[in-house]
Amino acid sequence: MFFWQKISLKLRLSLLFGLIFTGMLSGFCYILYTQFSKLQIAEFDTSLYNYAVDVAESLDVDKYGDVEFDSNILKLNEKILPFTLKNSFISVMDINGNVIETRPHLHETQISRLNEGIVARVLKNGASFSTMVNEKVPYRVINYLLPVLQKDTPLILQIAVPETDFLVINRNLVKFFYISVPIMLLVSLMIGYFFVGRALRPMMMIIAKTKEIEVTNLEERVPVPQSKGEIWQLADTINHLLSRLNEAFDAQDRFIQDASHQLKTPLAIMKGELEVFISEKRSEAEMTRFLESIAQEINFLTKLTNNLLILARVDSGASNLTFTKNRVDEVALTQVSRLSKLANMKKISLHLDFDSFYQASEDELSIMCDRDLLGVLFYNLIENAIKYSPESSTVTVTGESKEGMLRVRISDEGEGIETADLEKIFSRFHRLQNTATKAQGSGLGLAICKVVADSLGARIYATRNEGPGTSFIFEINQAAFGR
């Protein structure tokens, strides 16, 4: 078992193939040898029986009552027999086993003795076969019932011929098997090793390619065979794993880049203000303005950090999200309530129009989602509308359930967004030139909305209003609610 575990898979499969093939071949050889031996014995006995008939027909009784053998029949050169007559024994005896005549002239103890069983089979069937050993040489013996030869009792012709030729053929066949089976084992191992190598070649290519893939080239993929078998599944699984690893490393890189890009500016501002502040003695009013500026930068850093953590959480995948069943209208109303104070500070009216939702059932308004992230999405959209809307304007939050789609529309009355910029605004750190100086922001709010919507299988997009302002639409297909 230890040896089996240490050898390679290729060699294991080759040995297994060779052993199975050799076992099947050995079984086939055994069956072939057994059937061949049976056929050979049957042919041998048939020839011996025919020879006994010829001998029986040649026997005669002389005027003294003795049985005479035809000298020509003892040679029988005109027939091809599977045995030799040179060392054969022929005897004529009565049913009591008394030898009447024998050729060659031997003592009767050298002839196979009759017993009651043999005599009974001979009398019943006309002949019987048995095997005897004389001087370590096996003989095939036939006891044949002779026709009445002017005798008062039935006579039995007994012929014993050596099985030497028959056994030589069998031994040669066994030798052939002993030599051919190991050779076939070796050949099968070589053939198996070759074909197993060809079968495992795609897997070896996958292993070689996998060893080449490092953190710096995770975008590369292992080769996938054309036939969709087990190796195809292995390659496809590895490629999916590499894709997930690549996404994880990309998310990590994006987080590092985002953090370094966004944190250095407020930190630099705070550092500069501190250096200026401590350079000389300050009045109480200057100290107050300094602390307010530092507090503003700290608030910005806090919000920025929270946004970066939300992006990192979504980018890391569904394993870090908690999906529960939530009503979309309830989540949106919660965020409207949280932002009412900010709207009041700018004298902005928050108008809700959820009439379409009232006609929908609870199941139609509920989706499987991470409630906190969905809340962040609505919070960012509504806050963004308030931030870029003029004072004394209106921000409208509308709910629609129509044609299998659930929509939440947030519309403002601001300056609006140019058509060319409608797709760009969801990119990270993208800020419009005409608004960059009017409101402080990190450029991550809408990017967070986009990644949250993508994680839910939803769609988010922006359109210009016919009048002033822009509308942001969040929509999700009701067929996804059962997830």
Phi, psi of 95 (to 5 degrees): -70, -10
E runs forming strands in 240-393: 324-327, 349-353, 366-369
Phi, psi of 131 (to 5 degrees): -125, 140
What separation in angstroms does the CA of 283 have from each of 60, 208, 293, 389?
159, 71, 15, 37
First to last CA, the chain: 48
CA atoms of 138 and 163, how far apart (whole Å): 6
Interstrand relation of 155-162 and 137-145 (parallel, antiparallel or unpaired): antiparallel
Least Cα distance to 459 among 423, 413, 415 occurs for: 423
What separation in angstroms does the CA of 250 have from each of 215, 239, 254, 315, 410?
10, 16, 6, 9, 32
Cβ–Cβ < 8 Å for 114, 157: no
As a CATH number, domain 2-170 is 3.30.450.20
Q: Would the pTM of this model clear 0.95, i.e. be above it?
A: no
Residues 144, 150, 151, 152, CA torsion sign = positive
Write the DSSP string, 98-146: -EEEEES---GGGSPPP-HHHHHHHHHHSEEEEEEEETTEEEEEEEEEP
CA atoms of 127 and 474, how far apart (whole Å): 104
Least Cα distance to 440 among 290, 310, 269 occurs for: 269
Q: Let me know if 318 is exposed, middle or buried by CB neighbors in 10 A (0-12, 13-18, 19+).
A: exposed
CA atoms of 93 and 320, how far apart (whole Å): 104
Tokens of 419: 């058509």
| Phi-psi domain of 221 (left: phi exceeds 0; alpha: psi -120 through 50; beta: other) | beta
Residue 439 per-residue DSSP state: S
Least Cα distance to 225 among 243, 209, 248 occurs for: 209
CA atoms of 315 and 451, how far apart (whole Å): 8
As a CATH number, domain 321-480 is 3.30.565.10
Peptide bond between residue 104 and the one before it cis (omega within 30 degrees of 0): yes
CA atoms of 74 and 58, how far apart (whole Å): 10
User: What is the model's pLDDT at position 483?
Assistant: 42
CA atoms of 90 and 104, how far apart (whole Å): 7
The full set of domain ranges for the chain reads 2-170, 250-315, 321-480
Q: Let me know if 101 is exposed, middle or buried by CB neighbors in 10 A (0-12, 13-18, 19+).
A: middle
The number of angstroms, rounded, from the C-alpha of 412 to the middle of its chain's C-alpha atoms is 55
User: What is the model's pLDDT at position 436?
Assistant: 42
Residues of the chain with pLDDT below 50 are 77-78, 105-110, 436-438, 481-483
Q: Let me know if 84 is exposed, middle or buried by CB neighbors in 10 A (0-12, 13-18, 19+).
A: exposed
| DSSP count for the chain of H helices, then E strands | 12, 14
Cβ–Cβ < 8 Å for 353, 431: no
Packing angle of the helix pair 230-278, 164-212 (nearest 10 deg):
20
Q: What residues contact 354, with CB distance under 8 A and at least 6 apart?
A: 329, 333, 397, 398, 399
Phi, psi of 320 (to 5 degrees): -100, 5
